[in-house]
Amino acid sequence: MKLSPPKPFDMPRFALLIEYDGRPFAGWQRQPDRPSVQGAIEDALAKLETGPHTIAAAGRTDAGVHATAQVAHCDLTRDWTPFRLSEALNFHLKPNPVSIVGCAQVAGDWHARFSADERRYLFRIFSRRAPLTFGAGQFWRINNTLDVAAMQAGAQHLLGLHDFTTFRSTMCQAQSPVKTLDELRISQIAHPNGTEYQFHVRARSFLHNQVRSFVGTLERVGAGAWTPDDVLKALLAKDRAACGPVSPPQGLYLAGVGYPDHPFVD
């Protein structure tokens, strides 16, 4: 585990609650030649105080992935009030689709990533044959309806402590594929123009592409191409080739981060 270098104790640390549309960005992480959410926020911070600034987030989202409740922290030299800091950042973040929806001063040793004890993701699928107009880029649109009961039966095999080699990217840098999945709940919402399926996923931490691998595999179960027991077979195979198709990124949202002493009302 690589920790951030120590900071001077007279520098106040602020936690930021962040919402963003991932479509224009190459992901959360700052990149030298492509737009990123981290880069946009650090550029906004540089308008307030001379940089360079480096912020740390609870999780790094991929290109096209959204967030309704990302958490990051930053260290500043001025003792800003949280309200004025969030207002100033939102002003300088324009026109990026990024909003600071919460700001709080935290202890100097509080860390957005390492202090977290839970991450929650939401994946949204919309079923209809016509292309999406208002939800384009915010759902995975499919043509067929899905069997929620079958998908939930398949999801039950994934709950608990497992070796999730099958469901992680070959580029995953985690030292171990063993994780504990605390929740994978699927709900269905009827709309006048189609059906929405929501996948609520919760764990302390996740492997790279783990949620999208779950959703792509369970979609095959819901469509009738796989049985629920096929999910168990894929899990036990501990082989990436046994995974179903990986879902596209645009339906995925980082929907919450848990802390023992949460700086925001969650």
Smallest Cα–Cα separation from 127: which of 149, 148, 154? 148
What one-letter code names the amino acid at 168?
R
Classify residue 149 by its DSSP letter.
H
Q: Interhelix angle for 210-222 vs 148-156, to 10°?
A: 130
User: Cβ distance 57 to 70 under 8 Å?
Assistant: yes
User: Cβ distance 54 to 241 under 8 Å?
Assistant: no
Check if 229 is active-site: no
Specify the length of the chain in residues.
266
Annotated catalytic residue: which of 10, 33, 43, 62? Answer: 62
Smallest Cα–Cα separation from 112: which of 98, 123, 102, 122? 102
Q: Which two tokens stand for residue 13?
A: 């640390």
Q: Which two tokens stand for residue 256?
A: 């919450």
Active-site residues: which are they?
Answer: 62
